[in-house]
Chains A and B, each alone.
Chain A
């Protein structure tokens, strides 16, 4: 093959690849909805301009049923793996759930939200009747008082800050920025653990999260990390 043919074949392969991506996830590639998995040296260690947290540790989905308030509360009170509500996962760490191995993945997004539909697909699963665990560490240079965690999820979700349940929203719902908002809380100096259980019955699933200050404007001035506390 001469040089010109190489160019032609390269172009054809790229075109086929792009076509397959578009067919697989129409619109997703273009709008950045496919979360990036296993990114090393992430630059998403501070909230974006609107305050949204763009790095998370996500566990591959656990099969559950039901998104009503009662069902969701029952789900999050059921231990699917040891120390479910307290463990600090690391990237690629495995946990055993009902005899299956599920893996924690460090994920980042270019968007305000994290798309769980594409995440599930990327890890060879799906997001129907699924429980997604999400964890991130918020590192504060000083104590931050009178702030609120503000989230949106598709669908139901329960959220904890430093082990305390602060938000629960239930039922079949779409992600709306600042849908669920916590009462006023204090982020301590140093590491604060944000944990979420997002429950989806069927169809699309995603979430977004940020903190609001006492004036309900996006909180800045902290970093986010995944993995060991304090790192």
Chain B
């Protein structure tokens, strides 16, 4: 949030305008997430009683049952700027900023609740009080809180600040959500950024903060940058050795495709090595340039976080990391271009011209018409080795994506789970849940592929290369390559 030149009243007007805009796009067609996604400065997404919640500037709130389809939520008790929220023990602490005069005079208040479920008898926001402030003179603007629970020692921290001055760090009491010692001087850890948040990974603390301008629609230059430190108090150094206190920051996510101005990183840790992050785009060109929520995979490369991509509808080779072989329909393959005729041009001469892709309508003439097993084999560009992955409308989804169907390319033959919890393909897609698939990008960029349901079972199983030529379903082991898959464009 970068409204440094606006008075408080201007922010209120702007917030109202944003909310009106959000409501207007409620029924827009979904490109990324589904439902009304309008939000600016979203908090970290938190889970409460099986539902996902996020809160934004101006009291906006979004709720989802599955992380894919979102709806408008209930406003929290305070309706300030760029809130962040965290669950510690049996409490949800929300930190939310407000201008208390001409910027940069601001303060961050904490409110807490035992539940985010508005239907619960325990639902009640309690005022916690001010945890940080800026007096309008000091070199800091106390807005944009980001709360961080250190997994190594259980200490609770808050980063905050905007473009006027420093990003600062203070320590909070996990039992109360308030400052441990209000007299402790905040630590300056970055400058010339806002919307900061901190995460921990593999011995490093990472400070993610947003550079560039916000609130200008498709003209916004928002982009998320990162530096890292061995200590929670910094210094946070980027990949080129520049301290974030001197304006450094390695690019984590910038504008791309049809979305402009990502900001307000929030970590979603699903366990088993699967992490995602939330952010907003200042302008989604497919939603009229509105500011919208997104959820994407969080990857890691050479010790740095990398923004992954949710699965895109396309035709892929699905290749096992363990074996290097690809999933195929268990039918006899036909060499692309036909069996080699060595009499014409010799052993290595090939044929004249370009060999076109294999036509599935031709080669499938001899395929069985009923259920057919799947297996794995060396990828040879053959029709039975290509799979089309497409989102299924109305089938629900999971954090960041809808459920997909996986069909042999050019056919309606879906990959499914049989009653024996083994893989099979069926003659036609019917939309039943054992034909729906969840694809999560893992931290190394490979994919975990999981059916929505296993018939007659409550187990969560994923595609697993049990052998070089056989694929099955098994419990996910994050340490194994058996369940890591590449989606390659054929």
By a beta-carbon cutoff of 8 Å, the part of chain A in contact with chain B is: 68-70, 148, 150, 152, 167, 169-170, 176, 178-184, 212, 216
> Is there contact, CB below 8 Å, between A150 and B467?
yes
> Is there contact, CB below 8 Å, between B468 and A178?
yes
> Is there contact, CB below 8 Å, between A180 and B420?
no
Considering the complex, which residues of chain B in the window 287-326 have a beta carbon less than 8 Å from any beta carbon of chain A?
Answer: none
Q: 8 closest A-B pairs (Cβ-Cβ)?
A: A181-B467, A181-B470, A69-B332, A178-B467, A179-B468, A183-B422, A181-B466, A180-B469
Most chain-A Cβ atoms within 10 A of its Cβ — which of B421, B468, B474? B468
Query: Which residues of chain B are within 8 angstroms of A167 by Cβ–Cβ distance?
Result: 470
CB contact between A183 and one of B331, B420, B469 (< 8 Å): that residue: B420
CB contact between B332 and one of A170, A176, A179, A182 (< 8 Å): that residue: A170
A212 to B467, CA, bound (A): 11
A150 to B467, CA, bound (A): 8
By a beta-carbon cutoff of 8 Å, the part of chain B in contact with chain A is: 331-332, 420-422, 466-470, 472, 474, 482
Chain B residues touching A, majority SS: loop
Question: In the assembled complex, how far is the CB of residue B390 from the closest CB belonging to chain A, in whole angstroms?
Answer: 27
> Is there contact, CB below 8 Å, between A216 and B466?
yes
CB contact between B466 and one of A68, A169, A170, A178 (< 8 Å): that residue: A178
Query: Which residues of chain A are within 8 angstroms of B468 by Cβ–Cβ distance?
Result: 152, 176, 178-180
Question: In the assembled complex, how far is the CB of residue B289 from the closest CB belonging to chain A, in whole angstroms?
Answer: 51
> Is there contact, CB below 8 Å, between B332 and A212?
no
Measured CB to CB, the nearest residue on chain B to A168 is B330
A148 to B469, CA, bound (A): 13
Measured CB to CB, the nearest residue on chain A to B377 is A171
A169 to B469, CA, bound (A): 8
> Is there contact, CB below 8 Å, between A179 and B469?
yes
Q: List 27 A-B contacts (CB under 8 A).
A: A68-B332, A69-B331, A69-B332, A70-B332, A148-B466, A150-B467, A152-B468, A169-B469, A170-B332, A176-B468, A178-B466, A178-B467, A178-B468, A179-B468, A179-B469, A180-B469, A180-B470, A181-B466, A181-B467, A181-B472, A182-B470, A183-B420, A183-B422, A184-B420, A184-B421, A184-B422, A212-B466
Most chain-A Cβ atoms within 10 A of its Cβ — which of B420, B422, B467, B470? B467
A179 to B482, CA, bound (A): 13
Measured CB to CB, the nearest residue on chain A to B325 is A179
Question: In the assembled complex, how far is the CB of residue B384 from the closest CB belonging to chain A, in whole angstroms?
Answer: 11
Query: Which residues of chain A are within 8 angstroms of B469 by Cβ–Cβ distance?
Result: 169, 179-181
Question: In the assembled complex, how far is the CB of residue B83 from the closest CB belonging to chain A, in whole angstroms?
Answer: 45
A204 to B474, CA, bound (A): 34
Measured CB to CB, the nearest residue on chain B to A178 is B467
Query: Which residues of chain A are within 8 angstroms of B472 by Cβ–Cβ distance?
Result: 181, 183-184
Query: Which residues of chain B are within 8 angstroms of A178 by Cβ–Cβ distance?
Result: 466-468
